[in-house]
Structure 1
Amino acid sequence: MSDWTGGYVADIVYTHGYYAELNPQRLKLAFLMAGHVFPEVGTACELGFGQGVSTNVHAAASVTQWYGTDFNPAQAGYAQELAAASGAHARLYDEAFEDFANRSDLPEFDFICLHGIWSWINDANRQVIIDFIRRKLKVGGVVYISYNTQPGWAAMAPLRDLLAEHAQVMGAQGSGIVPRIDAALDFASRLLAGGAAYGRANPGVAKRLEAIGKQDRQYVAHEYFNRHWVPMSFAKMAEWLDAAKLTYATSASYLDHVDSINFNADQQQMLKELQDRMFRETVRDFMVNQQFRKDYWVRGARQLAPLEQQEQLRRQRFVLVRAPDRITLAVSGALGEANMQENVYRPILARLAGFQPFSLGELQEEMKSEGIAAGAVLQAIVILIGKGVLEPVQDAALIDAAHPTTRRLNRKLCEQARHTDTVSVLASPVTGGGLSLGRVDRLYLLARANGAANTEDAARFIVDALTAAGQNLVKDGKALDLREAALAEGIRIVKSMDEQLLPLLTALRIDC
Structure 2
Amino acid sequence: MGIVILGDGYITDIGYTSDFYSEMAPSHLAFSSLVAGCDPGGTLRPGRVLELGFGQGFGLALLAAANPDIVFEGCDFNPAHVAHARDLVESAGLTNLSVAEASFEAMAARAGDGNVDIVLLHGVLSWVAKEAEEAILQILRQRLRRDGALYISYNCLPGWAPLVPIRQLIIDIKRRHAGNSQSQIAAALDLLAQLKEGNATYFACNPMASVHLEAMLAQDRVYLAHEYLSDHWRLFQFSEVAARLGQADGLGYIASATLTENFDQFAVPANLQPLMAQTGDPILRETLRDVAANKNFRRDIFGRASRILSKAERREFLGQMLFAPAVPRRRQQFKFRGPLNELIGKEDFYSPIADMLAERFATFDELLALPSFGEHAVDRLVECLALLIHSGQVVPFVMRPTTDPEPARRFNRMIVDRARGGRLYGYLASPVAGTGIRIDDFGLLTLAAVFDGKADTPLAAARHGLSIITALGRRPFDNARALTEDDEAIEFLSARMKPVIEDDIPLWRRLGML
TMscore range, shorter length: over 0.9
Contact 2:352-2:370 within 8 A present in 1 as well: no
- Secondary structure of the residue that 1:160 maps to in structure 2? helix
Moved more, 120-129 or 252-261: 252-261
Distance in 2, matches of 1:104 and 1:446, equals: 45
1:496 and 2:507 matched: no
Instruction: Name the structure 2 match of 1:279.
Output: 284
Task: Write the deviation string for residues 93-116 of structure 1: whole angstroms up to 9, x where unpaired.
Answer: 222222233346876211111111
- Secondary structure of the residue that 2:356 maps to in structure 1? helix
Unaligned runs of 5+ in 1: none
Q: How far 1:454 moved relative to its partner?
A: 2.4
Instruction: Name the structure 1 match of 2:76.
Output: 70
Structure 2 letter corresponding to 1:80: R
- Secondary structure of the residue that 1:366 maps to in structure 2? coil
Contact 2:264-2:276 within 8 A present in 1 as well: no
Distance in 1, matches of 2:399 and 2:124, equals: 32
Q: How far 1:176 moved relative to its partner?
A: 1.9
Distance in 1, matches of 2:495 and 2:340, equals: 40
Instruction: Name the structure 1 match of 2:319.
Output: 314
Structure 1 letter corresponding to 2:91: A
Contact 1:344-1:372 within 8 A present in 2 as well: no
1:84 and 2:90 matched: yes
Of residues 468, 471, 481, the one that matches 1:468 is 471
Q: How far 1:213 moved relative to its partner?
A: 1.6
Matches within 5 A, 1:331-410: 331-354=336-359, 356-368=360-372, 373-395=377-399, 397-398=401-402, 400-401=403-404, 403-410=405-412
Identity %: 32
1:436 and 2:443 matched: no
Contact 2:57-2:84 within 8 A present in 1 as well: yes
Distance in 2, matches of 1:128 and 1:260, equals: 38
Contact 1:189-1:206 within 8 A present in 2 as well: no
Contact 1:44-1:66 within 8 A present in 2 as well: yes
Contact 2:6-2:13 within 8 A present in 1 as well: no
Task: Write the deviation string for residues 246-295 of structure 1: whole angstroms up to 9, x where unpaired.
Answer: 11111010111232222233211000111111111101100000100000
- Secondary structure of the residue that 1:127 maps to in structure 2? helix
Q: How far 1:439 moved relative to its partner?
A: 2.1
Structure 1 letter corresponding to 2:70: T
Task: Write the deviation string for residues 45-98 of structure 1: whole angstroms up to 9, x where unpaired.
Answer: 111101111111111111111111111111111111111123333111222222
- Secondary structure of the residue that 1:322 maps to in structure 2? coil
Contact 1:427-1:510 within 8 A present in 2 as well: yes
Structure 2 letter corresponding to 1:353: A
Moved more, 246-255 or 298-307: 298-307
Instruction: Name the structure 1 match of 2:223.
Output: 219
Instruction: Name the structure 2 match of 1:237.
Output: 241
Instruction: Name the structure 2 match of 1:10.
Output: 12
C-alpha distance 499-207 of structure 1, shift in aligned 2 (>3 A): same
Distance in 2, matches of 1:330 and 1:216, equals: 27
Distance in 1, matches of 2:123 and 2:141, equals: 20
1:95 and 2:99 matched: no
- Secondary structure of the residue that 2:469 maps to in structure 1? helix
Q: How far 1:146 moved relative to its partner?
A: 0.2
1:448 and 2:453 matched: no
- Secondary structure of the residue that 2:285 maps to in structure 1? helix
Q: How far 1:373 moved relative to its partner?
A: 4.1
Instruction: Name the structure 2 match of 1:458.
Output: 461
When the two chains are superposed, the root-mean-square deviation of aligned CA atoms in Å is 2.3
TM-score scaled by length of structure 1: 0.93
Instruction: Name the structure 2 match of 1:42.
Output: 47
- Secondary structure of the residue that 2:20 maps to in structure 1? coil
Contact 1:112-1:142 within 8 A present in 2 as well: yes
